[in-house]
Amino acid sequence: MELEQFQFRQSGQKKVLQIITSVVVFFERSRHILADLFERLRLMSLATISTSDRKLTADSRILVCEDDHLIALGWVTLLENAGYTVVGPAPNAETAFELAHQHLPDIALIDINLSGTIDGISVAAELAPLGVAIIFITAHYNRAGTEGREFAADILIKPVMESTVLKAVAATFQRKQEADAVRNTLSE
């Protein structure tokens, strides 16, 4: 009788551990899903300004390369509200290349996992030699840190706060202006 009770208790403990493990896995997955959902909702609330009336000028430009339309509109709106001139958004590499060749940007905000056959790292590899500073905004931090590091002025991991994006853009512009000033001084 005691042996049966011991085995019952042991199997009950295993079942409880399995349930706890399942609950932990569920909450971990839910946390990522909720974080993504909150970022999308926040960016949707930012995307209230129409981007069809944007006027490209000879000023400094930022290319937004993001395949999620709502997130892209959120970044465009954020940057425009901060006073930047935005090129795009580009949902894929082909559009990014087209926009970059028409309106060479100073900085490109690039998601690594783009729709289409060409990824964001390949876009960065093409734009960086043209003098475009690359800021990756991605959930694929491993790829950004290994494959994309050589092209990146900065790497931001999604979900990312608006203030972090603005600080990264400002710091990248500052570094780019300082590098340009040094280059101009050396060429004189």
> 105: domain CATH number?
3.40.50.2300
Higher pLDDT, 55 or 107: 107
Count other C-beta atoms under 10 Å from residue 49's C-beta.
12
Give Dmax (Cα) for the chain. 95
User: Does residue 58 belong to any structural domain of this protein?
Assistant: yes
Q: Measured between alpha carbons, how far is 180 from 171 in angstroms, rounded to an integer?
A: 14
pLDDT higher at 53 or 133: 133
Query: What's residue 163's pLDDT?
Result: 94
Rounded Cα distance between 140 and 137, Å, is 9
Provide the residue range defining the domain that includes 137: 47-187
Residue 95 belongs to a domain: yes
Residue 10 falls within a domain, yes or no?
no
Position 59 in a domain: yes
Task: Give per-residue pLDDT as tens, 78-136.
Answer: 999 999 999 999 999 999 999 999 999 999 999 999 999 999 999 999 999 999 999 99
Query: Does residue 16 lie in a domain region?
Result: no
SS3 88: strand
Better-predicted residue by pLDDT, 179 or 188: 179
CA nearest 135: which of 123, 147, 152? 152
| Cβ atoms 119, 97 nearer than 8 A | no
Phi/psi of residue 61, nearest 5 degrees: -125, 150
Mean pLDDT of 56-81: 87
Task: Confirm whether 33 is domain-assigned.
Answer: no
Which of 6-15, 23-32, 57-66, 152-161 ranks highest by mean pLDDT? 152-161
Number of domains in the chain: 1
| Residue 64 burial (C-beta neighbours within 10 Å; 0-12, 13-18, 19+) | buried
> What is the reported pLDDT for 55?
39
75 in any annotated domain = yes
Residue 11 pLDDT: 63
pTM check: above 0.85: no
Q: Is 73 inside a domain boundary?
A: yes
